[in-house]
Amino acid sequence: MHADRSTLTRPGSLIIGDNVVRDGALVDASSPDPRVHGVRRFAELVAGHPRLTATAPQTVGEKGYDGFILPRSPRRCLTCSGECFSPRHPVETKGRY
């Protein structure tokens, strides 16, 4: 993920990173696979980003173990007067970060 991509999203947007578990290879820092290193870098960028929160559900299917990363940008909350993830609070709906 390019560091500036989050500035292109609207408040509350989801950014989807698919095929990130790579049959468990994601946890192997010594993997020779450049795709694994790319996914690890993406995960590090998301984890280190000060304005994103994320989850990474794992899936199991006929292709084996895989998963995706769902980073989300906060919304401008009118109740909290700042950034918020609550779906129950009214939010500002126009503009970008």
User: Mean pLDDT throughout 1-28?
Assistant: 74
Residue 42 lies in a domain: yes
What is d(CA 85, CA 71) in angstroms, rounded to the nearest whole number? 12
- How many domains, in total, are found in the chain? 1
Position 91 scores a pLDDT of 61
90 within domain boundaries:
no
Query: Does residue 14 form part of some domain?
Result: yes
Is 47 among the domain residues? Answer: yes
**pLDDT (average), residues 22-27:** 80
Whole-model pTM above 0.85?
no
Q: From residue 40, give the alpha-carbon distance in Å to each of 36, 73, 97.
A: 6, 20, 26
> Residue 19's domain spans which residues?
3-84
Does the residue 96 lie in any domain? no
Residue 91 lies inside a defined structural domain of this protein: no
Task: Report the CATH number that the domain containing residue 41 is assigned in CATH.
Answer: 3.40.50.150
The secondary structure of the chain in percent helix, strand, coil, rounded to multiples of 5, reads 30, 25, 45
**Tokens 């698919």 found at:** 18
What local confidence, expressed as pLDDT, does residue 34 receive? 92
pLDDT given at position 64: 80
Stretch 7-25: mean pLDDT: 80
